[in-house]
């Protein structure tokens, strides 16, 4: 779908195969220097940094966004995360209010969460984070594109490359 001047996949990348049809290793937890994917109980896919950086899971003509790509999107939407969010977002803490999810952009950013080590359930329905390349497009950045339920601000968060697995949203370049 087109948002501003950019073309984004309408949903997160969800594959268990490399583009050459070789199987990606399915993992139970994230550990350093491992390549593979994990699935939540609701069947969402999360990838280790090694898989994301390999480029071997991306459809032809699609890329993992870098910070320039994310910032163009963020500027176009005036930093309003609600325009990207869809689905049901739950509060991080009982006393916090959940911010709106209007999805007026059509991006369909559902709160799939992330994996930190072996844990995913604490983040599901509350967080959404995407792997991001640095501006050289040669390595994973130390920060990820990040949204959470208690704010309407598009943020960035520490990637934790060796201990975390995130969703992938592709951009057409």
How much of the chain, in percent, has pLDDT values that exceed 90?
88
Number of compact structural domains in the chain:
1
pTM equals 0.95
Per-residue confidence (pLDDT) for residue 41, from 0 to 100: 87
Q: In whole angstroms, what is the distance from residue 154 CA to residue 156 CA?
A: 7
Mean pLDDT of 71-100: 95
Residue 95 has what pLDDT?
86
Range of the domain at 141: 1-173
Residue with tokens 């009982």: 94
Put residue 107 in one of left, alpha, beta given phi > 0 → left and psi -120 to 50 → alpha.
Answer: alpha
């Amino acid at each position: 779908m087109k948002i501003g001047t950019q073309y984004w996949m309408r949903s997160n990348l969800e594959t268990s195969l490399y583009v050459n049809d070789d199987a990606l290793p399915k993992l139970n937890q994230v550990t350093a220097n491992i390549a593979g994917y994990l699935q939540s109980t609701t069947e969402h896919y999360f990838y280790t940094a090694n898989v994301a950086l390999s480029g071997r899971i991306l459809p032809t003509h699609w890329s993992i966004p870098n910070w320039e790509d994310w910032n163009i999107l963020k500027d176009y939407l005036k930093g309003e995360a609600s325009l990207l969010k869809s689905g049901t977002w739950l509060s991080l803490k009982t006393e916090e209010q959940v911010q709106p999810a209007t999805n007026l952009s059509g991006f369909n950013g559902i709160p799939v969460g992330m994996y930190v080590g072996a844990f995913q359930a604490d983040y599901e329905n509350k967080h959404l984070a995407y792997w991001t390349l640095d501006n050289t497009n040669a390595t994973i950045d130390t920060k990820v594109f990040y949204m959470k339920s208690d704010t309407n601000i598009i943020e960035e968060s520490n990637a934790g490359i060796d201990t975390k697995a995130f969703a992938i949203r592709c951009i057409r370049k």
